[in-house]
Amino acid sequence: MRFRICDLAFGLMSLLCIQFDSARAEPLSEAITMQLNPTVCALSVSDKLCKTTVHVQWRATQDESLCMIIVKRPDIKQCWEHYTEGTYNVDLTFDQDVIFQLRDLELQNTLASATLRVIREALQYRHRRRDPWSLFG
């Protein structure tokens, strides 16, 4: 019985760790990691767009030549040649998740990926007041 409880606890912890990692970054290669700051933009009911400066940082265990791109944003691209780490700041305005990727110089292979997520406050609706008595009602 004790063994089963430990198994269950380990399983839950593993599941939580996987979910946490997937929220921060998705390393495709153990040798290269990428982190974003911030990782989440929360939109309130009255907000339509996220507008923030995103700090991107990557590290590698050996010299790498790579480029950082943002999916569906061909105007943003930053490359490094023979570096083990790099940082990049970019001002972004967006209303959907933004996917950052590290790719080789030919942009063919994805080496690491991280997602800046947009969380919207759940909108609830109600009926407007019916006011035919008023002038513009």
Partner 1 sequence: MQGSLIKQICIITLLTWSSHVGAADKCEQESNECTAIGKWNVGMAIGVGARSNPLLEGKSIPLVLVPTISYYGKHFFLNNLDFGWTLHDSASSSISFIASPGYDRVFFYRYDLQNFFVINQVVNNGSTATTTGQAFVSTDPNPDIQIGAQYIIRRYPDRSRDITYLAGPEWTFQIGKVSGQVDLLHEVTGKHDGNEIRAALKFPLISSLQSLSCSVGITWKSAAVVNYYYGDEAIYQGDSSLSPFIKVSYSRPLGTKWKLLAFIHYEQLGSSIANSPIVAMDHVNSGFVGALYAF
Q: Does 133 bind partner 1 (CB under 8 A)?
A: yes
Q: Give the single-character DSSP code of 39.
A: -
Q: Does 20 bind partner 1 (CB under 8 A)?
A: no
Nearer to partner 1, 62 or 124 (CB): 124
Q: Does 48 bind partner 1 (CB under 8 A)?
A: no
Shortest Å, Cβ 94 to partner 1: 20
Nearer to partner 1, 20 or 133 (CB): 133
35-43, 95-103, 109-117, 123-131 -> range binding partner 1 (CB under 8 A): 123-131
Taking a C-beta distance cutoff of 8 angstroms, is the pair 60, 38 a contact? no
Q: 99: which strand partners?
A: 115
Distances (CA, A) of 128 to 44, 45, 122, 137: 21, 17, 19, 11
Q: Does 136 bind partner 1 (CB under 8 A)?
A: yes
Q: Which long-range contacts (CB under 8 A, 24 or more apart) does 94-99 make?
A: 94/41, 94/49, 94/50, 94/118, 95/43, 95/48, 95/49, 95/50, 98/54, 98/70, 98/71, 98/73, 99/70, 99/71, 99/72
**Contacts with partner 1: how many residues (CB under 8 A)?**
17
Shortest Å, Cβ 121 to partner 1: 8
Shortest Å, Cβ 117 to partner 1: 22
Residues found near partner 1 in the complex (CB under 8 A): 45-46, 123-137
